[in-house]
Structure 1
Amino acid sequence: MSQAEAVGPVGSGRSRNPLWTFGILRSELTTTLRRWRTLALLGVLAAVPVLIGIAVRIETSDGSPAGSGEGGGPAFLSQVTNNGLFLVFAALSVTLPVFLPMAVGVVAGDSIAGEAGAGTLRYLLVAPAGRTRLLLAKYASTLVFCLVATVVVAASALAVGALLFPVGEVTTISGTQIGFGEGLLRAGLIAVAVAASLIGFAALGLFISTLTGSGIAAMATTVGVLITVQILDSIPQLSGMHPYLFPHYWLSFADLLRDPVYWDDVVKNLGLQGLYAAVFGSAAWARFTAKDITA
């Protein structure tokens, strides 16, 4: 069998050793997390809480309050000077609409198209892995990046918040107080919820990556789709379609800081992300398994 036949739409007939699945996933994770581009993205994400913390520290040096308003989103800034733990929530609310999904869009968009553009995709498919397992490994490594990126933001914010501001009991959005330990648990839960908010967009980026052989084009298209959908979600006249747009419930993680926790929008967000993951994951699989690999 020629090499071209080995990477054709139907794949090869080699045996499928389950250990190959873990080997491919480990290789993909190592490759993704060790790339200089990935490290640079994580560095930028880690710098955002530092800049926010320093800005709030300077702004409040004369005793004036930081931020304004109540509830979620950037209004968390108003609580940072009282409790550094709120820098975690503020940093996540600032990075989630733009910085985090853009970083995920770069990784997801480059996952397949980058390999094709570099001429390494056909050699990956020659190995006894199979297209489905390779695609799953690519998606799984992107999801791991979602979690790692979110944890980097949260950990950086926690360190900066504890260094620049006092920490202690947490006042919830509902006005009640919870202990610092429970506040940390809520912060961890919020970080997981934020990472889970990106699984639908990651699947969309993976699908776009299967449509082209240029990593740059796939990354640009994925980020372009993100910006377009964000704009659509901000137009009041299109409110009827807002609940079906993947970023609509992203900031629902603020409800995890209520007492008791308000789960409705959080569950809607997770369900919507699961739907996007199923639809665009299936589309990516259909495209990738039927695609002729020439590079």
Structure 2
Amino acid sequence: MPSDSADALSIPTARSAPAGGSSLSLLASELKTLFRRRRTVAMLVALAAIPVLIAVAVRLSSTVPPGRGPAFLDRITQNGLFVAVTAMLVSVPLFLPLTIGVVAGDTIAGEASLGTLRYLLVAPAGRVRLLLVKYAGALAFCLAAPVTVALAGAAIGASLFPIGPVTLLSGDVVQPPEAALRLLLIAAYLAVSLAGLSAIGLFLSTLTVVPVGAMAATVVVSVASQIAGELPQLEWLHPWLFTHYWFGFADVLRQPVLWDSFASNALLQAAYIAVFGALAYGRFVTKDVLS
């Protein structure tokens, strides 16, 4: 997906001043540019629309048959907070990876396609520092995306359905404030889950000057990993797939919270970050930047 023309015009001006300053200035400039883009705003709005669609559909329907549709769907009418849980569950396989693929795939390739990459390096931002800042921006979006779904889900759920004590998967009951905290923990879990995919997208972005190619490749890798995770013939490979623990956030809905899957997921994503971060570094520091 190419960058907006308005973004293309604004980037050189927005980046030129802080690029030669501290890493924090460069990071602040990157985050400001990222979250002011119409494309980024549009993706966050689209993610927020997912829980709204779910809530409205449930509200307008007479009944939700137990066991039909996504998990927790039949609990929404009893407690509106389950809108957020259901929406995050629905978003994991495609919608969240799609938006992450767009952001991560655009990190380096987007600058190259706009002709601003060499200006950032001349500044002197330094290749390593620029790579780290770009990845930090992608990580910020990894957090913003699931948090957007969670907040939109909680808001629309509270508007259309009653809010009360939440019965967890373990059978225990928690009050709404604690349930809201667990929603944020689920969002944090998903942010960690998407960190490995962002590192893959960052590496792919260093391979091309066409951001659409890096974006599409990142999404395809995500889909391929999920498909491989469903094949029993590849069971030996499952623990090594970066998507293996994506649905492990159900452990946050138990009392007490089971942190094993959280730790295993973080360790797996850290391995992907290390491997693909090193590949991105090796490619980027030796790359001839012509645009």
Task: Tell me, yes or no, whether TM beats 0.5.
Answer: yes
Q: Who is 1:185 aligned against?
A: 181
Change beyond 3 A, Cα 1:66–1:53:
farther
The 10-residue stretch of structure 1 (104-113 or 187-196) with the greater mean CA deviation from structure 2: 187-196
SS of structure 2 residue aligned to 1:250: coil
Of 102, 108, 117, the residue aligned with 1:121 is 117
Write the deviation string for residues 54-94 of structure 1: whole angstroms up to 9, x where unpaired. 111122x3xx335527xxx9211121111111111111111
Change beyond 3 A, Cα 1:67–1:294:
farther
TM-score in terms of structure 1 length? 0.89
SS of structure 1 residue aligned to 2:256: coil
Residues 66 and 81 of structure 1 are in contact (CA less than 8 Å); yes or no, is this contact kept in structure 2?
no
TM-score in terms of structure 2 length? 0.90
State yes or no: 1:207 paired with 2:189: no
Of 156, 166, 170, the residue aligned with 1:174 is 170
SS of structure 1 residue aligned to 2:22: helix
CA distance in 1: counterparts of 2:198 and 2:147, whole angstroms: 17
Residues 20 and 125 of structure 2 are in contact (CA less than 8 Å); yes or no, is this contact kept in structure 1?
no
Residues 209 and 218 of structure 1 are in contact (CA less than 8 Å); yes or no, is this contact kept in structure 2?
yes
Residues 64 and 73 of structure 2 are in contact (CA less than 8 Å); yes or no, is this contact kept in structure 1?
no
Aligned length: 273
Of 82, 99, 102, the residue aligned with 1:106 is 102
CA distance in 1: counterparts of 2:196 and 2:67, whole angstroms: 32
CA distance in 2: counterparts of 1:243 and 1:179, whole angstroms: 35
Residues 20 and 124 of structure 2 are in contact (CA less than 8 Å); yes or no, is this contact kept in structure 1?
no
> Deviation of residue 45 (structure 1)?
0.4
State yes or no: 1:276 paired with 2:272: yes
The residue type equivalent to 2:67 in the other structure is S
CA distance in 2: counterparts of 1:273 and 1:78, whole angstroms: 32
Q: Who is 2:130 aligned against?
A: 134
Residues 97 and 247 of structure 1 are in contact (CA less than 8 Å); yes or no, is this contact kept in structure 2?
no
Of 143, 147, 152, the residue aligned with 1:147 is 143
Identical residues among aligned pairs (%)? 53
Residues 66 and 80 of structure 1 are in contact (CA less than 8 Å); yes or no, is this contact kept in structure 2?
no
The residue type equivalent to 1:45 in the other structure is L
Q: Who is 2:64 aligned against?
A: 65
Q: Who is 2:36 aligned against?
A: 34
The residue type equivalent to 1:165 in the other structure is F
CA distance in 1: counterparts of 2:38 and 2:86, whole angstroms: 27
Of 201, 205, 212, the residue aligned with 1:216 is 212
The residue type equivalent to 1:65 in the other structure is V
Superposed CA RMSD in Å reads: 1.6
Q: Which has the larger radius of gyration?
A: 1
Q: Who is 2:13 aligned against?
A: none
CA distance in 1: counterparts of 2:87 and 2:199, whole angstroms: 24
